[in-house]
Structure 1
Amino acid sequence: MDKLFNSHWFVKIISFFIALMLFAMVNMDDLTSQPGILPSLSDRTSTLEEVEVSVLYDEENFAIVDQTEHVQVKLSGSQSAIAFFQLMRPTYEVFVDVTERQEGVHTLSIQHRGFPGDLSVSIVPQFARVELQEKQTVSIPVDVELVNTDGVKEGYSVGTPMVSPVNVTVTAAREVAAEVADAKAYVDVTDADKMLEEAVPVKLYDSSGNELHLDVEPGIVDVRVPVTSPNKSVPIKVSREGELEEGLSIESVNVEPKEAVIYGPFDVIESINVLEGLTIDLDDITESETFTMELPVPAGVQTIDPEVVEVTVNVAEEESRQWSDVPIEMIGASDETDVRFNEGEDDTLSIIAHGAETNLDQFSVDDIQVYIDVSGLSEGEHSVPIKINGPQNIRFSVSKTNVEVIVSDQSESE
């Protein structure tokens, strides 16, 4: 077929037949006017149905809220004129002009243009109704609605969306503009695992939730939706190395904030219960001081909040207080063994607590545990080291560091 249309002779033949047909239609009226050649032919009519009525109006200040939309157009003329119109279909327009009219209902005679001059044009109905209403511009805040929030990746959470601009404007007929209740932008968060940034179309709704198809400016807004990975809060631990110079004691070590939020995969963060890695060197501290320290990021953790903390070390002059006859607890003995202090071995000792006055004022001997661990000891005599669990920032001196015990089989002792 393409080869046929590209043929030089084919185009010439088609052009000849079109010219011949046009010549016949143009000269048909002359032939019918000559008696004895052809019988007389009367004028023909052609009816155009559902012809759209255009309205010329002040579009900047007014809006059309109602109008006659379609009419019927009857064309009358010679057979050749009708045929030529039907063949060529020239551009025509049926319209009313209300550019000089104000708000209200107007009934005007329908006009036309573009029809051939040798045709008579009749329009039914002859008048059109147009209702104009003054335009009004309203500003509406954009509400971002998240779709499929249950579909975000496991453990991730969606934050509050941000939209720019925060308001859109709607210009429409006064009564129509008053119907606008909401401007919404919808964002689908299915499988979201990071910040979403999308250009989203704005939809308008009335108070009943029906969508309104009106011009809105801008029609598209930029939306950012924060998506947070799995996270948990953990306490921050500050370790110490070195020693204060003689005569000084730590009164307190404070971290601000006391906890940090770690973000990362579930299998990583679920095993982290404390944030370690901060260390202060007591050798360098001679007075109360505050440090800004960067928090270490554990392996596998994506981010941490905050990234830095303030560590305040308060020091004071060291004081001492003594307690006597503090009992030594024995732990770790099995049911199959009998463990006793060696004959002549005292099961108590004296303790001296060293620390800042404020800490010693709050300290009681009941706040410490003095014990020996005899688990795993074989039968016989053993010298076991004395251990002390007590409050932080207080150090202890004891009257002895070891005690002698005898381990025997339980069945033999019975």
Structure 2
Amino acid sequence: MDKWLDNPWFLRGVALVLAFMLFASVPNTNLNKSGNINVPSNENTEVLTDVPVNSYYDTENLVVTGVPETVNVTISGPRNIVQQAKALRDFEVYVDLTKLEMGEHQIQINIKEISDRLTVTIDPSNITVSIQERITKDYNVEPEFSLGMLAEGFIAGSPTVEPAKVKVTGAKDIIEQISYVKANVNVEEGTRETVRRDASVLVLDKDMNKLNVLVEPETVEVSIPVNQSSKTVPVDIVPKGKPPEGVTIESITSDVEEATIVADPEVLKDVKKVRVEIDVSNITENTEVTMPIIISNGVLEVSPQTAKLSIKIKKQDEVTLSNVPLRITGQPEDHEVALVEPKTGEVSLTASGQTDLIESLKPEDFELVIDVSGLEEGEHSVDIQVSAPNDINWSLASEKANVTITKKEA
């Protein structure tokens, strides 16, 4: 055995066998289509996207614009180092502005804490930045919402904002562009109740473009009171028709004197009253009825919707008095007046009124007079003048009397 080990050809044979066995144990994944062996390269390239960029400057007193939030970094080099950098991302991409004055500058984006065995390309690599004085100012927040989203007949009161002011921080030239600080509130269609919403604060220039500033706080609470557009108006009672014969409407009263109506403001300003209509053509007794309150076009609601009416009547009666005496006045001393018609000196009169008054009437309650003052001799037709009790209606069978005036004999 020792002789074999001392034999160089034996050792060479063993080495050849081991080499063949080792070769046979390697998988053939590196064989190409032609059966040749591909030797893997040790170099690699990777593109790392959305790599954050850090900025170094006086953040308390300055504002910097123009620095991108992220960049793409391409790294090339040994495969193991590239893969390690890709996995760990333990490098930093940054811009150092600490030594720059205020104004506009062309600068390069840098990278540090990365292996010097890697080749690095940053996209973009050169940028334009603006360094300006940092300013903070207080602004009132103006709430904004669409009135058209409110339900018909509802109006919005004065909205409130909490807090009413916010602090806006930004570059001096940006702050000088501020024209509006608004909180836009989303109001749902058909809203009938007070709206309370958290709303983001928007800082805008005169052209309503959003400005790049910091706002503290970023949201505010907006409260918008929503109420019905309403007012109180009197209730007018309107009788319709004619009472039955013999019936007089003494009074119509309502348990509702005023009503509240709801309408859009433009309609509301023109409405002065609402009404209740009652047909009196069939009223024969004192009665109570409930009737709807009638509203004009454009009025959406009325409250209450009905009114109770109390109707009091006076029944009418009629009587004919056939013996009412007729008296002559204004008779000249030297003349005689003789009644031609009516010969009896009495007139027939028909009186009407409330039954209790009619029942107690007597002829002497009426005074019938003809005045012959100034009349010359001859025959004359003279108007009969009537004095009657209050609340009594009357009519004469004849409204004139015929008289003859003659001169007395000496």
Q: TM-score category by the smaller chain?
A: 0.3 to 0.5
TM-score (norm 1): 0.46
- Name the larger-Rg structure: 2
TM-score (norm 2): 0.46
